[in-house]
Structure 1
Amino acid sequence: MRSNELLIIQPLLAGYRVSFFNDLSQFFDKVTIMADIKEQKDFGASLKKISADILHAPILGERTKLYYQQGIVKKIFKCRPKSIFIAADFRAISFWAVLVSSKVLRIPVFTHGQGLYDKPNPKLLYKIIFKAAVILSSRYICYTDFSKRTAEAIGVQSNKLAVMNNTIVNSSPITPETKNVKTKRLIYIGRLREGSNLELLLEAMKILKKRSVFCSLDIIGDGEKIKEYKSYVRKAEIDVVFHGAIFDDEVISEISKSAVAGVYPGDAGLSIVHYMSLSLVPIAHNDITKHMGPEPSYIKNMINGILFERNNVISLAESIDYVISNPSSAKEIFENSYITYQNLTSISMAEILMSSMNEFLKDQS
């Protein structure tokens, strides 16, 4: 008899997924997560918070090319789980092995992916691969509505797709009424690495200073480029506070109270949702295909956030200038930003996933 077990398969574990995995435990007798945990030196604290069983599935090969995760197919044949939830990674040979094995064993498998948000003109081969993954899945769970539309655009049937908005739950959100609408302070939260493009934000502040438009910036995060950024700040003589890496939601929220906008000058992802949870005006670039994930598609320009032209420092400077020079408009935008966060988190990701799963699990009852 098939056990009431959910098998979750991930290449690596992400700290922001902990609450999602724990929420799923209430719907199954047992939840097992398989991932390569030895590659994650900084995930130890988060591992202790996961209520599910965790099995090490080592990655063989390079994740930038083809790779294979050991032990997954063997686990499926041994435990015959009631359902499988797997991250969509077409480069993983084990991903395809799971889809085929699940078909043979008649186990519902739910593939979780970003769609084709970063491929505005996908090649024929990629379309075929994507459609094959969807066909072999019970349902393809999209990160966002935008992700779903990109899949439909290449001819994937809507009834094979579902949306589970990719989000995070902030344990210390900031509501709009606590914000100072007249503040001229900005905040950046994230890694100080190549791709964060923080130099664009610092340069925009320098341009605004020359125009006698003064603003301040709090930077929460650390990384290999911190010395370079600190040197730039000293030479430009702009008002920037480096707080270092902070992982406590309450501390981050307290710092954010004095900021009106959260700026992500590079390619963003879930940082946008984090900014929204803090009642900030999220400012990000307008090229969705270049972002780290499809989450910036939650921004509706001038409604719940502001979009600037990618890599255009003048466009970014003008966006910042608009926010700090128009407090009433900024207030309306960050109020809508917080409403967006509330809408994204009003129903848990686990409940949304289960609404898709239940259609298939009933057939096994």
Structure 2
Amino acid sequence: MQQNLLIVQRVLTRYRLDLFRQLHDNFGEIGIITSQGDSQGALKKVDAGNIPEKNVVCHKLSSLRLGYKGESRSTSLFFYPQAIFLLRKYDVILLEGTTNILNNFLIIPAARILGKKVIWWDAGYSPSIRTRRRKVIDIVVKPLVGLTHKQMAYSTIGGRYMQEFMGAKKVFVNLNTIRTDYFEGIQQEIETNIKGYKTGKSSIKLLYVGVIESRKKIKELADVVVKLNQTPEKKKYTIDIIGDGKLLQELRQTIRDENVVFHGPIYDKEALKSFYFRSDLFVLPGDGGLGILQSLLFGLPVICLKGADGTEQDYILEKTHLLDRFDEIYPLLESIENVDKSIYSNYLKKVSSQNWVKKFVSETTSI
């Protein structure tokens, strides 16, 4: 008899729902708890009203919303204590970790009393300097982590951090990912694009796809592009910026440069494909991680800062594209002569979401 799985999320996003649906063959029922979330940005809740898999159910709970100012951004915590009444129906509980700590204070003890299998899912901490605030957070979460049966880390760096500072005794790394079956269907197109690619002699096309928020440093990146074009005898640099967020309209009004184009949100991967195929480099100037993976799956190399979310160290093969500071982006772009997309040929085999599913199911059944 298959076990029932309950996934507890602060906010259920589109990319998470798509990934969780891939688990449907491995569990009897999959329940997903979510708050109401936001109308836009990183905490925008997906419309989960018509999930194709009949055994995947979304539990949208009314919640108390609390503002929280983190190290790199202001965000929201959502408290829904009624979640504990859903625990009895499920055998395995997968918890969003530190970022959903308010609910975990109630859910973890209740789940253990009821004899449930509990897995803590966390990014750990990837910045090079462990701040005083982070040390306090680790002290708070450590007893909760110790009550869980296993701990699933987003990245290799995250796994090491959880072991050393968060009290994780049975941690396993399952790289944070997105659903990849779309890329399986266009794999031949991706390989053809990689093989036919040549770096432009007179221009470099940059791309950013993601949330438009201050922590992403989109304004600063646009300023870099403007500065790169101030030397006319050198290459021309352009950037396409795709995404939604609180700063989108403000940046559209304040950054008026023909080489910086804001396209707004585009969710359809077929529409996004042409941007990835015609670009030379994807640039992630702030934090984040899944944007890196999506770009590499399209065969587009990525430049980002170390500590984006930890997965960049696992995913990016061109290590010179991993930078220590934002101010290293300008000289790297200025010196670009050749971009090698060939190292991401057949990259899907390394990062298929089926790998994530198999790893999770294997670790769950061994508890």
Please show how residues 68-79 of structure 1 align to structure 2 within 5 Å: 68-77=79-88, 79=89
Q: How far off its partner does 1:137 sit? A: 0.5
Asked if structure 2 preserves the Cα contact closer than 8 Å seen for 1:110 and 1:141, the reply is: yes
The 1:151/1:339 distance shift into structure 2, 3 A limit, reads farther
The alpha-carbon deviation at position 74 of structure 1 amounts to 1.6
Paired position in structure 1 for 2:294: 274
Residues 153 and 178 of structure 1: is their aligned pair in 2 closer, same or farther, counting only changes over 3 Å?
A: same
Deviation at 1:68, TM superposition (A): 2.8
Aligned CA distance change for structure 1 residues 155 and 182 (closer, same or farther; 3 Å):
closer
Alpha-carbon shift at residue 140 of structure 1 (Å)? 0.8
Listed one character per residue, the Cα deviations across residues 66-120 of structure 1 (whole Å, up to 9, x for unaligned) are: 753132112224x2x2211111136644312221122212211111111133484
SS in 2 for 1:175: helix
- How has the CA–CA distance of structure 1 residues 94 and 336 changed in structure 2, closer, same or farther, with 3 Å as cutoff? same
Query: For residues 31 and 299 of structure 1, what CA distance do their matches in structure 2 show?
Result: 29
1:5–1:83 CA contact under 8 A, matched in 2: yes
Q: How many residues align?
A: 341
| Residue 66 to residue 319, structure 1, CA distance change in 2 (3 Å) | closer
CA distance in 1, matches of 2:127, 2:276: 30
Name the counterpart of 1:132. Answer: 143
**Is residue 252 of structure 1 aligned with residue 272 of structure 2?**
yes
More displaced 10-residue stretch of structure 1: 28-37 or 137-146 = 28-37
Structure 2: 5+ residue runs without aligned partners? 69-75
- Do the aligned partners of 1:67 and 1:92 also contact (CA within 8 Å) in 2? no
Aligned to 2:219: 199
The more displaced of 185-194 and 86-95 is: 86-95
The residue aligned with 1:48 is 50
Deviations 1:114-147 (A, max 9, x none): 1133484365644433332222001011111110
Partners in 1 of 2:249 and 2:106 — Cα distance? Answer: 45
SS in 2 for 1:257: helix
Tell me the equivalent position of 1:190: 210
The corresponding residue for 1:57 is 61
RMSD across aligned positions (CA):
2.9
Distance 1:157 1:111 in 2: 9
Structure 2 residue 329 is the aligned partner of structure 1 residue 320: no
2:190 corresponds to: 175
1:118 to 1:50, Cα distance in 2 relative to 1, 3 A: farther
Equivalent-residue separation in structure 1 for 2:100 and 2:34 (angstroms): 16
- Tell me if structure 2 keeps the 8 A contact 1:87–1:112: yes
Partner of 2:103: 94
Change over 3 Å in CA distance of 1:217–1:93 after alignment to 2: closer
Report the equivalent of 1:308.
Answer: 323
Is 1:148–2:159 an aligned residue pair? yes
**Equivalent pair of 1:58/1:70 in contact (CA under 8 Å):** no
Alpha carbons of structure 1 residues 230 and 249: separation in structure 2 relative to 1, 3 Å: same
Query: 2:21 & 2:30 partners in 1: Cα distance?
Result: 9
Q: Give, in whole Å, the separation in 1 of the partners of 2:16 and 2:78.
A: 23
Structure-1 separation of matches of 2:227 and 2:323: 16
> Taking structure 1 as reference, are residues 254 and 118 closer, same or farther at Cα in structure 2, changes over 3 Å only?
same
The answer on 1:114 being equivalent to 2:118 is: no
TM-score (ref. length: structure 1): 0.82
Are 2:312 and 1:296 aligned? yes
1:18–1:49 contact (8 Å) kept in structure 2: no
Which residue in the other structure is 1:363 paired with? none
Q: Which amino acid aligns with 2:305?
A: H
1:24 to partner: Cα distance: 1.6
Distance 1:282 1:198 in 2: 15
Q: 1:130 & 1:316 partners in 2: Cα distance?
A: 35
Contact 2:302 2:316 in 1 (8 A): no
Letter in 1 for 2:51: K
Fraction of identical pairs, as percent: 18
TM norm structure 2:
0.82
Shift of 1:45: 4.2
SS in 2 for 1:117: coil
Residue 228 of structure 1, CA deviation: 4.7
Unmatched 5+ stretches in structure 1: 361-365
In structure 2, the partner of 1:343 is: 350
Is the alpha carbon distance of 1:192 and 1:338 closer, same or farther for their aligned partners in structure 2, counting shifts above 3 Å? farther
Structure 2 Cα separation of the partners of residues 153 and 40 of structure 1: 37
